[in-house]
Every structure is written in C-alpha cells, then in structure tokens.
Structure 1
Amino acid sequence: MQIAVFSARPYDRRFLDEANQRGAAEQDFAFVYFDASLDLHTATLAQDCDAVCVFVNDRLDAPVLQALHAQGVHAVLLRCAGFNNVDLAAATSLGLFVARVPAYSPEAVAEHALALVMTLNRQTHRAYNRVREGNFMLDGLLGHTLHGRTVGIVGTGKIGVATARIFKGLGCTVLGHDPYPSASFAGLGENVALAKLLSRADIVSLHCPLTADTHHLINDASLAQMKAGAMLVNTSRGGLVDTHAVIRALKSRRLGHLAIDVYEQESALFFQDLSGEIIDDEAFQRLMTFPNVLVTGHQGFFTVEALQEISAITLGNLADFAAGRACANRVEAG
C-alpha cells in the first residue's frame, strides 16, 4: 500500500519511517513524501496512492477530496487531532476512510502553554537579547509571581486538564469552562460559566476544538468581559480568536499580554522559512509590533514523545484501514 504524505518535514519522515519499520513484519506500507501542502493543485501528486497522510493546514474540501477519490485514494490519515480542514460530508459521500490522532502527549502542548506564559510574564525573551548586548538593566522586565494568580482553562479535555494540573502545581487558582465538563478536572479547579472565567482570570488559556460554536470565541464582546490587563494564551486553533478584535484590545490596553502558537491565517505562514520574504499579512505584521505579544509557529506538539505517539497512532489507523477492521479514531459526518 502506497501513501502520499503531504506537508512533510524532515521530522515527519524520521518518525513515520521509524514507526513503519517497527511494524514492517505485519504490514507493507510505502510512504511517498511531499514538501508541498495538499490542495486542488497538488492533489495530482497522490496519483497511484491508496491513501494520503495530511497535517493541520492541508486543504481537504469537497473538490480536493473528489480529485483524490478520482485518482484511487481511499483513505485520509490526519496526523493531528483537529479535522476542521476536512469536509466530512463530502468524504462520507465518497466512501473515504478518515481517521485522526485524537490525543497525543497532552503534556507537550500544556508545557508549551506554560513556556509562553512564563516567557511573557517574566520577559525572558527580552532579557536574553539584552544580556547578549551587555545590557543588565532590569527596567521593563517586571513580572508577576504566578503563585496565587487565577488561571482560566477554556476546554477541559486532556490538554486542558494537563494544563490545569501544571498551574495548580504552581499554586494558582484554576477555573475551567467546558460545555461537557471533564471528570478529570474535578479536584483541580472550579467549573464556571465562560463569562465568570473571563472576568476573574489573570491568565486565560484556550484548549478547545474549532467548531461553528467556538469560531471567534474570543471577540470584541468576550475581550470586554476579560479582566483588564489579563493575558490570553492560545495553543489550540487559530480560528478561536478574532485577530482584529485582539489587536483592538491590545491597542486600548484592555488586553495585557497575548501569547499564540496558532494563528487564524497560519496556513500561508507557518511551517515555512519566509525570512527572506515580505509577509503580506497586515494583521500578523501588526501583532508583531506589540512588545507584549509572543508568537510561536505551531510548535506546541513538537516533542520527541509527541511525534512518536502521532506516528504510531497514524500507522495504527492505517493498519485498521488496510485490514478492513473498525477504527476507534475514525471520523465521519454527523
């Protein structure tokens, strides 16, 4: 069985090949790697392949899925948890097998959220640059002691719970909001309504999926409900945040700090080296002018352990498809 892997970076090749070698005695999978992301123009690269393996910013709308199906592709393997980039109705109507990696090393993303908070709070990124230039002044680097602060976790799934556990360990008061409260969150914090969380939290950290209900969950109205000077952290999905509303809140000084590992229009930017290019995204460029904004390029998942788990689960999903057996990680419309 031949699988076309799109948006393939060197680390994808390494960990998928290692996982494939471990299961080589039981399966016969051949990966064909492409640096290009999947869209209607690159779908032809999957010619003669039985499946495609894709990432968060690959495009799998109805026209792309139809093109893949016409070429003989029968399965879509997502090496990520989110599947908002897949037209599931079209996939189901075409009889395509779609499976994801629902959870992988939730601690990896939770720890990255902590890293963003600590960096912005204590200004360690600015201190690093100062010291390298021989400047040992502390002015402008004043932070807050996190012990005793209130942290709001929006989305108390596995990653949200892992994040809550970290902040509780630091001595923070933890609030959580989720329409489907997690039993695992009990004992870590208090479940409250979103408005109450926003009004009380010094730090708001987003850990929820992107759906029609959560699209632009953070907007002008919700930002107005937030505690003045609070920090917003998003390591989940870019579309949860209305970027223009956040810019307005930063300009008005209502929002104290912003840390994002995801961005609504990231597909045109992230996972590429654009250091020699002019970035046309004016909203992103405006964000980068604020000294109280920290952006990383969707690296929350990027640990050895998480990549090993992602690859192993992806290979497991592929093995289920090849064997024609039920797959616990399959996603379908409705």
Structure 2
Amino acid sequence: MNMSAIHAIEVRHLSKRFGQKMVVDDLSFNVRQGEVFGLLGPNGAGKTTTLRMLTTLLKADAGQVKIFGHDTVKEGRLARSMFGLTGQYASVDEDISARENLMIFARLNGLSRAAAKQRTAELLADFSLADSADKALANFSGGMRRRLDLAVSLITRPALIFLDEPTTGLDPRTRTQMWATIRGLVKQGSTIVLTTQYLDEADQLADRLAVIDHGRLVKMGTPAELKQQVGGTQLAFTVSQGAQVARAVKLVAAQVAGTVQQTGQRLSVRLTQLAQLPLILAALDQAKILIDHLSVQEPSLDDVFMDLTIGQN
C-alpha cells in the first residue's frame, strides 16, 4: 500500500443530530498528508462535534471517516493509534508535576520506563517546560498548561494531530509561541487538523480551510483562494475637491466592473485585479483630479467569514 497516495483523513457524508437539531449536516472533505487543515466557523457551527466524530469520541449518525485509509468504525483501534488529540482543557492530573504527568502518559502508551524517561525529557525541552518540570500544575499559567497538553498528545509521535482551539484564552505572546510550536511539528512531517474561531490564526497556520456554518460546509480552499472569492483588493481614496467627486466616480466606474462606493468625498471600489490600479490613477491624473489618503487593502479572512456565514443566518 502506497501511504503517500492515501489521504490523512477522508470524510464522507458525515452527519450528527442531537434531538431535533442537525448539528453536522452531510460533511465531506479530505485532509492531505503534511498539511495544516483548518476547520473554521462561528461558535455552535459544528466544528467540535465534527472533530469528536473524526477522533472516535462521538459516534456519527451517518457517514464514514477514514484515518490513513483505516475506517474509524471497523478498524477503530488501528485508526486511533495513528493520531494524537489535544483539547481546550488539559486532561492532566492537577496534583502532580508536568514531569510526572508525562511519565504516566508515556507508560500508559506502552513505553518502557527508560524510554518514557527519555521521551519526557525531550518533550519538556521542546515545549520550554524544563524549568517548571517538577512544579505542581496548580502553579502553571494557561499557556504552560496548553503546552503540556500538546506535549502529552505527542508522546507517541503521531503522524496526525488534532488541535481543538489550541490558543483560546491565551495572551498574544503565548499564542505566538504556540504557533511556532505548531509550525515546528509540520516541518517534522506531521499532519495537523486545527479548529479555531480566530481568523488570524487560520490565516497564519492553515494550508487549506473548510468554513463550516450550521453544520454544513459552506466553502473550502486556501486562505488566499477564499479571500480572492470575496472580491479582490479594496482601493479607497479621498477626492481633494468636492466639485470633482462626480467626475472621479465616473472615471473609476469606467475602469472596473464593480460598484463605486461613495461617502462624501471618499470613494472605494473592489478591484478584480491589481493591474486596474495604475489605469485608475492614470485616468484621474489625466483629468487633473487631485486625490489623497489612498489605501490599497487585501481582503482579510474576516471579510471571507462575514461574507460566507452572514448569508447563511
């Protein structure tokens, strides 16, 4: 069997209902090996329920999940042995130290005492926890707990890692540290599935994104592709003289397909391609229309998110 030809995850027609409410509604997607795949959506969109079904913590009502070609229902034990899962809340023992927690989990995962000791030391160093290794967890900050939880999930060096909102509630500095850690795992060859409600996090980390709303897949693609679909680059500027505004609107409209938005003397328009920018500026210059406060802004994932999820509500 050629492992490189197999997807890390294949999801086919996955559905889950709680009572009368359809929480996950006929989801299908693939996750490629070696990528960071982001599940993005507002609270209550079905991200965590989807993740729980992918990781066999929750039984699907319908559909199929395969992990590296192995069906999670028919070959559950084998599928589970191929991934690590870390959640929003550490599954560690509060009353003992980080070192003791890692040792226990390493032994539970079948490592010998010597191997467990070595792996624990490696992980404490990798996650900058060596200095606090023997302190009780009660003294740990939120960021340290999150790093420990991630370390626990990596004891067996899994090929696939599920991260459920790994930086929720962390301060900016600790979030950036976690991002660096996640990038390091990808460099070592891991495949990562990430759920997040932070758009900047998805933009920074994900190779591809699935945007979920009301349990349905509303869009999938790279962050750049999703931004492009929203409508390209936003150009805005102020016309210096009020008397020239109407003429400026006409000139800009002649160069672009979209509508020119006007607020007083401030004009804005979406460009389908950057090549339109010099043409617009040349036309204004030729007509001797003076402008200032010019800005050119790429669409953000916030724009994508609003565009895709507002329409669903």
Identify the structure with the greater strand proportion. Answer: 2
Higher relative contact order (CA 8 A, sep 6+): 2
Q: TM-score, normalised by structure 1?
A: 0.27
Q: TM-score, normalised by structure 2?
A: 0.29
Larger radius of gyration: 2
